[in-house]
């Protein structure tokens, strides 16, 4: 089944926040922001702002009725700055005007007298100055020091990965509408209904039952709408104070300049192997470029930390990870949530080691590939991974040895162009690493005409979670999917919802939906048995909208059954709750079982390189990925392809530049994202067959984030082509843009 919103998307009839009819008297908000990366505020002159045409009000931190704080994990991010600024773009004041244009034009007139302090823009420098978020994390498994002494080969290096702009279609925005009894309803583009609901109530000084947050769908998010609540809370503050509807919509370049990105990382790595190429020891330092506020950086770092071994069996390992506080806008979640950064380091280390050993990197990777029964550095035993099956399925499709030989022969016979290939295995843990977030509720109502409505905490943002929940409900109840509607995500129907992220949207909310539908089905089967004069409800089933008795269809159809049940006073509404079982992680020992299961896959990426110009093109991408028993094969294939392309973009062309003073220099016109021309002529996605997963809804496996890791294959394939030209340079940083490639070849 295809995404239920697809036809509306194609026709342009899907409703987003800005498509909602503006209520009468609706005002527009904008933010006065800091032009200094770090400093103490001496004074704030807003006279010109107040006098600007159309301005209705201007607010500072003094006007906040509740808590002037929107920090997601730590209480370190004021809604409106008080006495200091930590990054360019930090909100200083809130402007409310009669129109969007008037608000933003007035906001530009704000003047702040700020005593500038030296800005710190390098993560290693920040660490040296003690500027970090939280505490450094250290994970040791085995005895890496002793193991390195026994290694035949020891390889070390330094590496860096860059930021990535989310570039969602719909920029940050919200519409706040005051309602009776000092309550307020907010329509927002956010992935975190529960957390943002709390932020709204805290800032407004209201109990949470007086705040309603409603989310229909997002025009993309990729993690960029999970944690930073400024742009949702600000218009709500104005609406609450003025008792009028207020909307805030960020212009695209303002969104890019002030919102967080994928976290850049820097790495120091060392890897040791025996004579046969078995990895004996690995150590890595992860320096996360977090930005001025903690936001969600510590959680992202935790995922990098727990995935430092990648897809490999490493008996002795040491991982050190630190979140460095720098004077740029706070970085936040991005598809993959730190796993791509952690995986990049180990993939680079293994590739570097393969060069030293003089063997193909794929050979070394296969030899050390982790599988069922292997123990991860934090003590979790792998099971039901299918990692080996994914690799062998890919090999059977493409013949890795033959492809490697063909590339080697091409490179031997060509000077002005080269080819490169890379095989990337994926081993991605599924669940929130913060155990408490692994919970979800669902409310399912059956109406007297037989139609069904489902409410969950999941947020639809193009990934198809509503379709999957619709399918789960329909399959469980035994009716057609078009009889089921998934309602908006609303904090008054399903409270305290975890964010839709970590690839858990369908897992958690789908399972809660299944439980609620099973509860309703139990009631209906019991009633149907009584209705049919049969005492054993176990003999009653519903298939394709028809009640079956002992496996045979009866004349009792779904609609008639529901109507009769309502008349007999059977409850046709059910709320259910699901909490992922057997999850735990001890923060003191860094040991436990933080993930319910692992999503695995293997991919081959091949590129062609023009050695004269430094340009390249993708020739082929072959992906084999395990999605368990797919809830929707069409959606899962789309998620795999989209994730791979987003990973390719991060690896190759997506580059943000910052000025020496901390300003984001890259705007919409200068930011390159993958397009149709970036797609390899041969792009094949194979979903692993005959896979079961008892740890998720209907034996499925999460698919949103893991495939992005395959996109790293583009970086490693280009590197493979470059190393066939020269190996006298250190590994380049990510992304490998054509400019970097040219300088690597000729600089």
Q: Which helix (H) or strand (E) holds 105?
A: helix 100-107
Site of tokens 């991408």: 621
Are 290 and 302 within 8 A, CB to CB?
no
What are the b/e assignments for 171-197, b being 16+ CB within 10 Å? bbbbbbbbeeeeebbbbbbbbbbbbbb
Site of tokens 């030899």: 367
In the residue annotation, 705 being an active-site residue is answered as yes
Cis ω before 131 (30° cut-off from 0): no
Helix, strand, coil in percent for the chain, rounding step 5:
35, 25, 40
Contacts by 56-59, CB closer than 8 A, 24 or more apart: 56/27, 56/96, 56/97, 56/98, 56/242, 57/95, 57/96, 57/238, 57/241, 57/242, 58/32, 58/93, 58/94, 58/95, 58/96, 59/93, 59/94, 59/96, 59/237, 59/238, 59/241
Q: Which helix (H) or strand (E) holds 179?
A: strand 173-179
Beta 452-456 vs 484-486: how paired, if at all? parallel
Q: How far is CA 680 from CA 151, 406, 580, 618, in A?
A: 40, 18, 38, 5
504/333 Cα distance (integer angstroms): 14
Catalytic annotation, pick one of 266, 347, 606, 705: 705
Q: CB neighbours (10 Å) of residue 544?
A: 11
Are 622 and 397 within 8 A, CB to CB?
yes
Q: Could you give the angle at which helices 297-306 and 339-357 cross, rounded to 10 degrees?
A: 30
Q: Which helix (H) or strand (E) holds 141?
A: strand 132-141
Q: CB neighbours (10 Å) of residue 56?
A: 19
Are 702 and 640 within 8 A, CB to CB?
no
Are 41 and 113 within 8 A, CB to CB?
yes
Q: Based on the number of CB atoms within 10 Å of its own CB, is 117 exposed (0-12), middle (13-18) or buried (19 or more)?
A: middle
User: Which active-site residues does the annotation give?
Assistant: 705
């Amino acid at each position: 089944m295809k995404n239920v919103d697809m036809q509306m998307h194609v026709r342009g009839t899907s409703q987003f926040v800005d498509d909602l009819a503006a209520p009468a008297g609706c005002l527009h908000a904008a933010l006065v922001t800091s032009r200094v990366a770090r400093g103490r505020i001496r004074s704030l002159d807003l006279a010109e702002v107040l006098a600007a045409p159309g301005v209705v009000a201007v607010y500072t931190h003094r006007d906040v009725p509740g808590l002037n704080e929107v920090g997601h994990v730590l209480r370190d991010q004021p809604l409106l700055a008080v006495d200091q600024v930590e990054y360019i773009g930090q909100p200083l004041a809130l402007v409310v005007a009669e129109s969007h244009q008037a608000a933003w034009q007035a906001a530009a007139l704000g003047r702040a007298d700020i005593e500038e302090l030296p800005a710190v823009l390098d993560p290693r420098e920040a660490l040296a100055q003690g500027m970090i978020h939280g505490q450094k994390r250290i994970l040791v498994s085995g005895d890496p020091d002793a193991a390195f002494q026994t290694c035949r080969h020891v390889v070390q290096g330094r590496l860096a990965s860059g930021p990535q702009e989310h570039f969602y279609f719909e920029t940050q925005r919200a519409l706040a509408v005051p309602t009776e009894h000092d309550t307020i309803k907010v329509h927002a583009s956010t992935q975190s209904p529960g957390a943002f609901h709390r932020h709204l109530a805290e800032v407004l000084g209201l109990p949470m039952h007086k705040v309603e947050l409603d989310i229909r769908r997002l025009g993309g998010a990729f993690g960029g709408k999970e944690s930073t609540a400024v742009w949702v809370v600000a218009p709500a503050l104005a609406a609450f104070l003025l008792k009028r509807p207020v909307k805030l919509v960020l212009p695209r370049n303002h969104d890019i300049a002030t919102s967080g990105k994928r976290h850049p990382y820097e790495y120091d790595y060392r890897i040791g192997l025996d004579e046969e190429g078995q990895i004996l020891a690995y150590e890595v330092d992860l320096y996360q470029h977090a930005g001025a506020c903690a936001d969600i950086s510590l959680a992202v770092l935790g995922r990098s930390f727990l995935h430092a071994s990648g897809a490999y069996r490493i008996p002795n390992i040491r991982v050190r990870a630190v979140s460095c506080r720098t004077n740029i806008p706070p970085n936040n979640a991005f598809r993959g949530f730190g796993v791509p950064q952690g995986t990049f380091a180990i993939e680079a280390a293994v590739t570097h080691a393969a060069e030293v050993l003089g063997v193909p990197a794929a050979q070394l990777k296969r030899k050390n590939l982790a599988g069922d029964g292997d123990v991860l550095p934090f003590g979790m035993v792998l099971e039901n991974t299918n990692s080996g099956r994914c690799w062998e399925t890919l090999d059977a499709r493409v013949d890795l040895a033959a492809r490697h030989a063909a590339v080697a022969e091409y490179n031997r016979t060509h000077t002005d162009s080269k080819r490169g290939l890379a095989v990337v295995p994926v081993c991605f843990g599924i669940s929130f690493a913060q155990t408490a977030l692994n919970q979800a509720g669902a409310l399912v109502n059956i109406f007297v005409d037989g139609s069904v409505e489902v409410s969950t905490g999941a947020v639809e943002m193009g990934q198809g979670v509503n379709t999957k929940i619709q399918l789960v409900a329909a399959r469980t109840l035994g009716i057609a999917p078009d009889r089921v509607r998934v309602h908006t995500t609303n904090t008054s129907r399903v409270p305290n919802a975890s964010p839709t992220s970590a690839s858990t949207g369908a897992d958690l909310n789908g399972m809660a939906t299944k439980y609620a539908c099973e509860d309703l089905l139990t009631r209906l089967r019991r009633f149907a048995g009584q209705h049919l004069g049969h005492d054993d409800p176990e003999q009653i089933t519903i298939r394709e909208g028809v009640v079956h008795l002992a496996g045979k269809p009866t004349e009792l159809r779904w609609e008639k059954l529901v109507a009769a049940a309502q008349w007999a006073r059977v409850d046709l509404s059910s709320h259910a709750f699901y909490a992922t079982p057997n999850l735990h992680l001890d923060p003191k020992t860094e040991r436990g079982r933080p993930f319910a299961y692992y999503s695995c896959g293997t991919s081959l990426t091949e590129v062609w390189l023009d050695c004269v110009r430094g340009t390249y093109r993708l020739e082929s991408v072959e992906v084999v990925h395990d999605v368990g028993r797919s809830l929707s094969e069409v959606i899962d294939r789309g998620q795999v392809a989209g994730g791979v392309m987003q990973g390719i973009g991060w690896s190759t062309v997506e580059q943000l530049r910052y000025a020496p003073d901390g300003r984001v220099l890259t705007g919409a016109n200068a930011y390159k994202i993958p397009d149709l021309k970036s797609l390899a002529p041969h792009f094949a996605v194979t979903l692993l067959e005959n896979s079961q997963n008892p740890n998720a809804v209907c034996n499925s496996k999460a698919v949103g984030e893991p495939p992005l890791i395959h996109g790293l294959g583009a970086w490693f394939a280009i590197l493979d082509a470059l190393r066939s030209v020269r190996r006298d340079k250190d590994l380049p940083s990510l992304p490998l843009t054509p400019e970097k490639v040219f300088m690597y070849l000729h600089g």
